Amino acid sequence: MSFLGEILCRKAAEVEERRRKTSERELITRASDLPPPRSLAEALSPRGGPVRVVAEVKRASPSAGEIAAALDAPAQAARYAAGGAAAVSILTDGPGFGGALEDLAGARRQVALPLLRKDFVIDRYQLLEARVAGADAALLIAAALSEDGLAGLVEDCAALQLTPLVEVHDEWEVEAALAAGAQVVGVNNRNLKTMKVDLSVSERLLPMLPETVKAVAESGVRTAEDVRRLRAAGAANFLVGEALVRAADPAALLKELMEA
Ligand SMILES: O=P(O)(O)OC[C@@H](O)[C@@H](O)c1c[nH]c2ccccc12
């Protein structure tokens, strides 16, 4: 089974277990008391606009193994905010990425930027969890969902005032994202089935997106040169994880990328 297939199997069991501990009804009650979220779409750059970076907190990944096991998520989010990031992405998957929902809640107490819950969302329950933990946006991976499933979760996001960031990796997924009404689309340069990174995926798919959609180039972006290459293909927003987590001075790397 592919990495994605395996993760989705365990995700379904994980969601059921979490639902047994905290009921959906209780999360709905808690969500109803919260202030409205920040808009991720507004924090992002239009096509051809200045470079904006969604900076990611990630301790490990299936492709890289351990990156920074002891990373303090709220402190790292604060470094990103100080360095000029447009938004912060927090990996909340435990087994694959060493993250937890608590990382998101902790980051929420530290930074005022839009926060993205980065996980394998298959159920509305996870969106409620995200909202209650303080997320403003949630990742929806087209490759992990049926077309109807994706469209349904996009609607669920709207009901919770969360911005869905719909992630695509091929032409069919672009069509599905647009059909679902996504306003923010991430082109993942990493194939989640093989783990291979190829920046030409962004070059191929970004031109398919209408100008009204905010596009984000995701994965494998490490240097100012990578940013310049993808800018030529129309990218203005970049989701950067590993390179920022490994950087001795994340604010300096952010600056380099934003000035590329
Ligand atoms: O660490 P990188 O190569 O800069 O990539 C960040 C981000 O794009 C990547 O973490 C990611 C993109 N889509 C995902 C889906 C699930 C988990 C992780 C991801």
What confidence tens digit (pLDDT) does each residue in 100-122 have?
A: 999 999 999 999 999 999 999 99
Per-residue pLDDT, 241: 98
32 CA to middle of ligand 1, Å? 30
Beta bridge partners, 118, equal 91
Mutational test site, ligand 1, from 58, 197, 205, 244, max ligand atoms within 8 Å of CB: 58
Give CA separation, 242 vs 89, 115, 125, 226, 250, in Å.
12, 17, 28, 14, 11
Residue 119 Cβ inside 6 Å of ligand 1? The answer reads no
The response to whether residue 239 sits with its C-beta less than 6 Å from ligand 1 reads yes
Distance 33 CA to ligand 1 centre (A): 31
| Fold type of domain 3-34+51-258 | TIM Barrel (3.20.20)
Query: In which band, very low, low, confident or very high, does the pLDDT at 3 lie, cut at 50, 70 and 90?
Result: confident
ipTM above 0.90, yes or no: yes
pTM for the model:
0.98
pLDDT reported for residue 2: 85
CA distance 118 to 99: 10
